Amino acid sequence: MSALLELENVQTYYGSIQALKGISIEVYEGEIVTLIGANGAGKSTTLRSINGLNHPRVGSIRFAGRDITQTPAHEIVQLGIAQSPEGRKLFPRMSVVENLEMGAFQRKDRHELQGDMDRVFELFPRLHERRTQKAGTLSGGEQQMCAIGRALMARPKLLMLDEPSMGLAPIFVQRIFDTIVEVNKQGTSILLVEQNALMALDVANRGYVLETGKVALADDAKKLAQNEDVKRTYLGEI
């Protein structure tokens, strides 16, 4: 089975500083794959390399059999990759509905947007209650729901989530992760970057541990959760 997403020896720089030093990862159709690691390990840069915001200098990125290494960001969205970014990045003065519509602005099938919006409201009933409210006045958890919903409005084959639980109350964290599982069950592959390694490994099929721009470990998520080094370093276990 060929991978939906495949990174091979990806090396990405910020100016003269090398952030990724040869990352190779795969995401298969229907999987949840998580990237875990300390701050500065290269997790967000990996997503930026995939979504076209920071093209690699070396290596290749393939999506659905096509080389997208140097493809512009707006074309990557059209190909079927959408991201809910770290810090949510909503349009604060626009309503929930308007933010969701922004996620679909490149789509041509306008007649199908309402069905997708209904799906988002089914996943996040709270957003339906808040649909006319300005996004900047929502709670952190509601904003995260809106950011994920906006990404889903692009109808992606691959949904990339960057730190979806950051700064959220525990009740919202559980709800977000339950929704990630539900979105995956509905047929969307997911690449998840998450500080909460325990939660991430619990919902993922496979995981990669990044350290200083390299893949230090790659395994089945359940095995990584049992790995002594991972437990000690990322799961807070002694």
Give me 204's structure tokens: 């993922």
pLDDT in tens, 131-145: 999 999 998 889 999
Q: How far apart are the first and last CA of the chain?
A: 39
Residue 238 has pLDDT above 60, yes or no: no
Confidence band, pLDDT 50/70/90 cuts, at residue 114: confident
Cα–Cα distance between 71 and 116 in angstroms, integer? 26
Q: Rounded to the nearest 5°, which phi and psi values hold at 34?
A: -115, 145
CATH architecture, domain 1-80+156-238: 3-Layer(aba) Sandwich (3.40)
Which residue shows structure tokens 């988002």?
120
pLDDT in tens, 30-84: 999 999 998 889 999 999 999 999 999 999 999 999 999 999 998 999 999 999 9
Cα–Cα distance between 35 and 135 in angstroms, integer? 28
- H or E element: which one contains 125? helix 125-129
Domain with CATH 3.40.50.300 in the chain: 1-80+156-238
Enumerate residues 6+ apart whose C-beta is below 8 A from 142: 126, 127, 130
